[in-house]
Amino acid sequence: MAIRKILEFPDPRLRTRAAIVPAVDGRIQTLIDDMFETMYDANGIGLAASQIDVHEQVIVIDLSSDGSAPRVFVNPSIEVIDETLDGFEEGCLSVPGFSEAVERPKAIKVEALDRDGRPVDETVTGLLAVCLQHEMDHLQGKLFVDYLSPLKRQRIRQRLEKEQRRKA
Ligand code: GNR
Ligand code: NI
């Protein structure tokens, strides 16, 4: 397994739309394992393949604090079940050091494939609904900062660009 580098805003590669996974085979299972290792190493609760510059529709999520509840969503599609908006303070491993409230529908149904290529079909609410919608956005090239005002987004961009120049 391998820890992969996480792309950071405003890297244009984060704007790539992810392609459908043709088959859940060994290549995809290795990708999934690397995504979990990368996500746990970074103390995240979710990761989309887009964030490690792999533009295929794969999401991993683990909301537990001890790595005991790994979830995989390959080729996910979501349907809004309850369009009532709930606000939640979101962070993102691709926008390190920043968090802002984002409003999203409170209940969604997700259909996807798991690590073994078996169908998953669940209705989810709460933090899992927030996280899944956040990760679905990544697969479409969208980031939580896109929901903020242009001024806030610009401030975040400038601070991260400065930090990235410092590290380079
Ligand atoms: O680790 C993460 N925490 C988080 C908190 C609130 C809403 C969404 C998230 S997802 C984020 C990891 C990440 O960037 N996934 O794409
Ligand atoms: Ni994110």
| pLDDT of 1 strictly over 90 | no
Residue of 98, 127, 134, 144 with the most ligand 1 atoms within 8 Å of its CB, for mutation: 134
Q: What is the pLDDT of residues 24-49, one digit of tens each?
A: 999 999 999 999 999 999 999 999 99
- Reply yes or no on whether 135 is catalytic: yes
Mean local confidence (pLDDT), 18-29: 98
User: Which atom of ligand 1 has the smallest separation from the CA of 44?
Assistant: 1
Residue 75, pLDDT above cutoff 90 = yes
Residues flanking ligand 1, CB < 6 Å? 44-48, 51, 90-94, 130-131, 134-135, 138
pLDDT of residue 29: 98
Q: How crowded is residue 106: how many other Cβ atoms within 10 Å of its Cβ? A: 18
Q: Once rounded to an integer, what is the mean pLDDT over residues 98-118? A: 98
Structure tokens at 103: 């409003």
Residues forming a β-bridge with 43: none
Q: How far is the CA of 168 from the centre of ligand 2 (A)?
A: 22
Q: State whether residue 76 is helix, strand or coil.
A: strand
Residues flanking ion ligand 2, Cβ below 5 Å: 92
Which burial class, exposed, middle or buried, applies to 29 when counting CB atoms under 10 A from its CB (0-12, 13-18, 19+)? middle
For residue range 85-99, list pLDDT tens digits in order: 999 999 999 999 999
The verdict on pTM exceeding 0.95 is: yes
For residue 140, is pLDDT > 90? yes
Q: How far apart are CA 55 and CA 57, in angstroms?
A: 7
CA distance 36 to 62: 9
